Amino acid sequence: MRGMKNDSALLQFIEAAKSQGASDDSLFGLLKGQGWPPAAVYDALATQYQKTTGLKVPTRIRSTAAAKDAFYYLLSFATLATWTVGLGTLMFTLIENWIADPVTQNIYGRAITLWHHPWPQLLWLSRSISSL
C-alpha cells in the first residue's frame, strides 16, 4: 500500500489534472495503469470532490437485512412445502379410507404427523417475516 506522502502526491496530481479539464474516467484509467489500487484512486477523487464542494461524500450503510430476509423466506418456503406434502398425504389417506383399497395399509397416523408437525413453524415464520 502506498504511504501518506504518495497519497498527497496523488491528490495534488488529481487537482492539477482536474483544473486542466481531465475527466474522472481518464484519471482513473491513467492512475490504475500506473499501479495505483482502484480504492486509493476513488478515495483521492472523493477527497478532491469534498474539497471542491465543501460537502462530505455520502457513504452507504450496508446491512445484512437482505440476507436475513432471504434466509427467512427460504425457510418459510421449505416449511410450507413440507406442510403441503403432509396435507396431500393426509388427503390421499382420507380418500383411501373413504374408498377402501384392500391392498394398501393404513398410514393415517403418519399422514396426520406430516401435516400437523410443520404448521406451528410455518405460522411462526410467517409472523417473523411480516414483522421485518
CB 82 within 8 A of CB 111: no
Considering only residues 99 and 17, tell me which one the structure prediction assigns the higher pLDDT.
Answer: 17
Residue 3: the pLDDT is: 46
Spatial distance between the Cα atoms of 107 and 69, rounded to a whole number of angstroms = 37
Read off the pLDDT of residues 24-33 as tens digits, 9 standing for 90 and up: 888 889 898 9
Residue 7: the pLDDT is: 79
pTM for this structure?
0.44
Considering only residues 48 and 122, tell me which one the structure prediction assigns the higher pLDDT.
Answer: 48
Read off the C-alpha cell for 105.
Answer: 395399509
Residue 1: the pLDDT is: 39
Residue 125: the pLDDT is: 75
Spatial distance between the Cα atoms of 132 and 127, rounded to a whole number of angstroms = 9
Q: Between vectors from CA 40 to CA 54 and to CA 16, what angle results, nearest 5°? A: 55
Counting residues of the chain whose pLDDT is more than 90, the rounded percentage is 5
Residue 116: the pLDDT is: 61
Read off the pLDDT of residues 76-114 as tens digits, 9 standing for 90 and up: 898 889 888 888 888 888 887 787 666 655 555 555 555
